Amino acid sequence: MTPAPGDGSGQDKRGTGHDHYDEVVQFGSGRSASGRWLRRIALACLVLAAIVAVAVRGTPQHAQHAAKTPPLPAVQVIRAGHPLLDVSGGWVLFARGPDALLRIQLAQGKIAVTYVPPLLSANPNVAFVIGAHEAVIRSTDLVPGYIVPDSGQARVLTGPLAADGPLIPGPASTHAVWVMSGSPASPSLSLVTLTGRRLGPTIRFQPGGPQVPATAVSDGRGYVLVTTGGFSVYDAGPGWDRPVPGTVVAVGRESWLVVSCNPLYRHCHNEVVDIASGARRELPGPAAGFPYDEFSWPPIGVIAPDDATAAVAVGGPGRRLTVHLINLRSGANRNLKIVLSKSAGNVLAGADLSDQSMVWSPDSRWLFVAAADGKLVVVDARTGKAEHLKVTLPPVTQVAVGA
């Protein structure tokens, strides 16, 4: 991603510590006549005062002070003055919250914060897609979404990217996303670039196979995982789909972590599934606890790029969901005690929980977690130690990594 602007010399000490901010760019008878006039004037004054009071009460507070409130800057740049982690690569960590997009350059100790209008929906299913020079934020509901260029203000999405339904990253070589297309009787997913240009491939859904493309999530390699009315899971792409036995709990570029159980769900175990071949490898030890009675969606776990470790949400109905690391060689399970949210039956509850609550660094060294309290938590995968970045950030609900 192109670094955000903000190399000026303007400084503003806000929050805690000595973080530096660079602002870029950016509301009757027997009574005398004189007595009667005095009474009339007094009455008129009372009426006028009442009208003014009602008008003031009916005026939004932000409108009363609009002339005194300066416009928000399009981008604020926080400079920590030192690297935020032991990171040497030029990759960028992205995070979003209710009204902000963060581009975090860890090696440079630089964070660009862009204001993004809140989504007009309480739906926690929000697509957070990172492109070559922009980020896209959009709910699966039919409400306005936004595209945020690297160095500019958020703009309302238009064209095919503004349709309702999922918005899922396509193959890395395309720099495009899968969007809902077709009719309700014959739904499909089409590949569209972040500039709104349609590409050729289409994923169609046949009777008896995946029925609801609105349930689609990334399969880790540029295609989609979808569910059916019978709670089966399919991996689907242009011209093909195949069932995935078991419950997918974590997704990676080359493999999935799946919990397989007997028909009564009394004996379960973890399996690693090779995405390309479908080959399955059982992990030693019992299955990790997970927030499912029989089935839940979407899978929110993520597998590190080196395919060695999975970060998964572990819990149970009505209990807290905490982050665990599962070694995909030995099956060892480590509880990080980082709270994601709570589960309720088969539904993952909490507006701060989505299928992008966790992301790995490209070198598999760091796990970034949008925790239940809105804090961005960083985990060193080598030690399992969790920490916070030593800068003050807005609340975070989703995370992603870009180049």
What is the average pLDDT across 190-209? 85
Does residue 94 have a pLDDT over 60? yes
Q: Is residue 331 part of a domain?
A: yes
**Least confident range of 65-69, 261-265, 357-361:** 65-69
* 49 CB neighbour count, 10 Å cutoff: 10
Residue ending a domain, choose from 8, 42, 64: 64
Nearest to 3 by CA among 360, 367, 370, 402: 402
Q: Are 257 and 330 in contact (CB under 8 A)?
A: no
Q: What is the pLDDT of residue 346?
A: 37
| Most confident by average pLDDT, 25-39, 109-123, 287-301, 312-326 | 109-123
Query: pLDDT band at residue 147, thresholds of 50, 70 and 90?
Result: very high
Domain end (from 64, 85, 118) = 64
Q: What is the mean pLDDT of residues 188-217?
A: 82
Give the dihedral of Cα atoms 185, 186, 191, 192; nearest 10 deg. -40
47 located within any domain:
yes
Give the confidence band of 208 by pLDDT, cuts at 50, 70, 90: low
Domain assignment of residue 176, yes or no = no
User: Is the per-residue pLDDT at 309 higher than 90?
Assistant: yes
Q: Where is the domain boundary, 49, 64, 79?
A: 64
pLDDT of residue 61: 44
Which pLDDT score is estimated for 71?
Answer: 56
In a domain, 386, yes or no: yes
Whether the CB-CB separation of 114 and 99 falls below 8 Å is answered with no
Looking at the predicted structure, is the pLDDT value of residue 54 above 60?
no
User: Residue 186 has what pLDDT?
Assistant: 80
**Smallest Cα–Cα separation from 325: which of 259, 387, 385?**
385
Quote the pLDDT of residue 317: 56
Q: What is the pLDDT of residues 210-265, one digit of tens each?
A: 556 778 899 999 999 998 766 788 999 999 989 998 889 999 999 999 998 877 66
Higher local confidence (pLDDT), 304 or 291 = 304
Identify whether 318 is part of a domain. yes
Higher pLDDT pick, 376 / 19: 376
**Within-domain flag for 376:** yes
| Per-residue pLDDT at 319 | 67
Lowest mean per-residue pLDDT among 18-27, 211-220, 361-370 = 18-27
d(Cα 236, Cα 204) in Å, to the nearest integer? 9
Number of domains in the chain: 2
Give the Cα separation of 161 and 396 in Å (integer): 24
| Cβ burial 200-231 (10 Å sphere, 16+ → b, else e) | ebebbbeeeebbebebbbbbbbbbbbbbbeee
Helix (H, G, I), strand (E, B) or coil at 292: coil
Calculate mean pLDDT across residues 268-277: 94
Could you give the CA distance from residue 371 to residue 198 in angstroms, rounded to a whole number? 36
Share of the chain above pLDDT 70, in %: 72
Cα torsion angle, 104, 373, 227, 270, sign: positive
What's the farthest any 2 CA atoms get from each other in the chain? 107
Mean pLDDT of 98-110: 95
What integer pLDDT is reported at residue 87 of this predicted model? Answer: 86
**What CATH number is attached to the domain comprising 382?**
2.130.10.10
How far apart CA 170 and CA 193 sit, in angstroms, is 9
In a domain, 126, yes or no: no
DSSP 29-86: TTS-HHHHHHHHHHHHHHHHHHHHHHHHHTS-HHHHTTTTSPPPPSEEEEE-SS-SSS
Q: Tell me the sheet residues that pair with 95.
A: 102, 399
Contacts 24+ apart (CB under 8 A), 223-228: 223/170, 223/171, 224/166, 224/168, 224/178, 224/189, 225/251, 225/299, 227/297
**Mean pLDDT, the chain, whole residue set:** 78
Most confident of 12-26, 49-63, 150-164: 150-164
> Mean pLDDT across the stretch 136-159?
93
Q: Is there a domain that residue 348 lies in?
A: yes
pLDDT score of 24 more than 80: no
Closest CA to 134 of 161, 163, 106, 108: 161
Domain that holds residue 320: 287-403
Would the pTM count as exceeding 0.75?
yes
Q: How confident is the model at residue 347 (pLDDT cuts 50, 70, 90)?
A: very low
